[in-house]
Chain A
Amino acid sequence: MRVKRWSSVVLVMMLSAAVALTGCGSSNNGAAGTNAGTNGGENTPSASVQDTLIIGRGGDSASLDAAIVTDGESLKIAHQVYDSLVEYKEGTTEVQGSLAEDWAVSEDGLTYTFNLRQGVKFHDGTDFNADAVVFNFTRWSDPASEYKFEGDSFDYYDSMFGPDGKRVIKEVKASDASTVEITLNQPQAPFLQNLAMTSFGIASPTAIQEKKENFKNEPVGTGPFVFKEWKRNDSITLEKNVDYWKEGLPKLNKVIVRSIPDNSARFNALQSGEIDLMEDLSPDDLATLEANSELQKIERPSNNVGYVGFNLKKEPFNDVKVRQALSHAVNKQAIIDAFFAGQAEPAKNPMPPSLWGYNDSITDYEYDLEKAKSLLADAGYADGLPGEYTFYAMPVPRPYMPDGKKVAEVIQADFEKIGVKVNIESPEWATYLDDAQAGEKDDLFMLGWTGDNGDPDNFLYALLDKDASNNYSYYANDELHELLVAAQTETEQSKREELYKQAQEIIKVDAPWIPLVHTTPLLAAKANLKGYVPAPTGTEYYSNIHFE
């Protein structure tokens, strides 16, 4: 009896498998042309112009509350849902009005008066006004705010406008329904530049009050797209904001952003038409892309740096001569030719040349192994360095470094030639970052940075000042510190430029890093996709995108 029941289960399983497979078989045997047709039909449901965009990217968002996130994948979505008071002009880091139509700055640079755009509504139907702006700023700045939910921290607010106790913004108040006045404790040169960042998008106060902790899963702003659905690790669906204040935008009806972690699989999906646009094209696939007339290459403006950092806590890398010697032993151009498919340029400064304040008069340490050897000899290491050193190479592809381990191997081989033996280690990414920050296990490490807001402060101070939390080299130079702090408070652009140029000269001589490359991150899309202008900051509106 039992046996029969069991065998019938197996029978059913087999039958169902058989049914599924016959289905598959018939599809295979049936004319391939018909199926190709079905496939095409699946991608373009109607004969009219396509109005749904599917984007494939490597990872998912962490949260959709713009104010609490710092990772690029979260900010990309937040950018569609929220508007900030000011925004960057498409494809640049130049500031223009957004929710604030215009503004006035007082003589002393301490008071900014913003005239807000009128008639703008949040996606939940509530009005955008000066009170909403004040609500958001209070939420970000008041450590006791009841809308700072468990586990939340407003990291970008703290790092751009100073942590609690050292706030740059003194007060934000509503003069009337459509005027906001922001008073600063001290002038901040990149103030508007900072304000335009996605993290300072204005969220609907009503939605935050009602949804509380859940707001980070169901964001409400004034942006071009309305949040619809989030299937974690799978997709985020956005729909057109029909009341968007920018006339005629967005052009798309719907945007679906999918997580497809594997680079090759993502490119496969683009080629087979399952997605329309993909981020982070591997340079290896560039040739295939360019041979396919149905696809196009899109370049994101370069705004990053990939580098090898020395750990100055460790002997002998605290010796500037050793660092300079090793700087002569890296063949940047060869690395670019081998691993970047030409989509990068050698770096000589810690900030990209696309940024103002870049010091182009600096000459890089040229690739010269003899010179490296003689510098090592000067430092007292005529026979090369005595020990074996740990060289951390990142385990995951980053926009500034598609294959950290292979690049590290090339550097390792060159170091060997001047008598420096390094062992490459690549622990899992989260551990990697912890270790690099702690500076205990690594002697050298590879990392990089993508600019957030188009200000040199975001590179030089953030990564190399003695007080910066991202200074994993533990490099400290008081002269540099003074320059960088002076540049933060100086409001005159030309003076700031001069200060940053001087800073780069100091850094060049001290050589806490070997700057490797500035890359041009690649995206790929269907050839008929138009109106997509990638921003140097990594986040841009999808509102102008359309299909032809």
Chain B
Amino acid sequence: MTRSVAIAAVVIALLAVVVTCEVILHNAPEADPLGKRLLYLPSAEVLRLVSLGNDGLMADLLYMWSIQYYSQFDFREKFLYLDTVFNLITDLDPRYFDAYRIGAMIMSVQKHGDPNQHKEAIVRLYDKGIRAMPEKWEIAEWAAWDAYLVLQDTDQAVEWMGIAAERPGAPYVLQRLYGVWRDNIHGWTVEDSIAHWHEVLAGAETKTEINLATSHMYDSYVTLHRRSLDPMLRDYFERTRSCPESWQELVDAGWLASVPTDYLGNPYGIDTTTCTMVAHKKIRWD
């Protein structure tokens, strides 16, 4: 009994020593605690070899580690090796959706350094994901929204949304979003816009979808018609020193074959104060 008690006491004492040492070492300040650990990150090829066919799991573990790791940084600090880490994760598992979106999110959060470089890094990361998952519209859509809302780069947003809209299984609404955004940046000719809205209208199934597509179509036609009708009104004004009250005057004067109508068949109006064309958009939403 005494011997057992003595052995138990020795074991407990040794455990206490071990735990105390670990507590002391754990709390000791480390020089460059964040940078040093990352110096030993192996390449994707090495990790792939080590994982023995479990690349996905290796990517998961690295991803989870990176979340804990970067959560230690203040957003004003430089997030060390951010590019490297998320490239490593996405090299191991090129289809790791969360790695792209969270990686981009972390990249966008940091304030230290050149914002343009951060943006380039985000674009590179998303481009990599979009290339790696050619059948997935979700990654391109997510990237588009990040570009639109976070990066505030509508051109980039339009590009990615266009890719998303073309991918198999993409929701119908993406086509509309793409059209709206592209119209907003005047990123195409009005003829291309009209062609796009015809396509969107052809795919519309519900009344709401039809009305929305029709509405955008209407706006594009207005832009198209305004291109010729507004200059005509200006010419007429310069010649006659007055703005016509109605389009019939231009028809009577032989300037037009008939009264111009909008996409819905309703005649355009004229704003006599500015002497420009007026569209009376009437779409029944019920």
Indicate whether A and B interact: no
- Listed in ascending order, the chain A residues whose CB lies under 8 Å from chain B are none
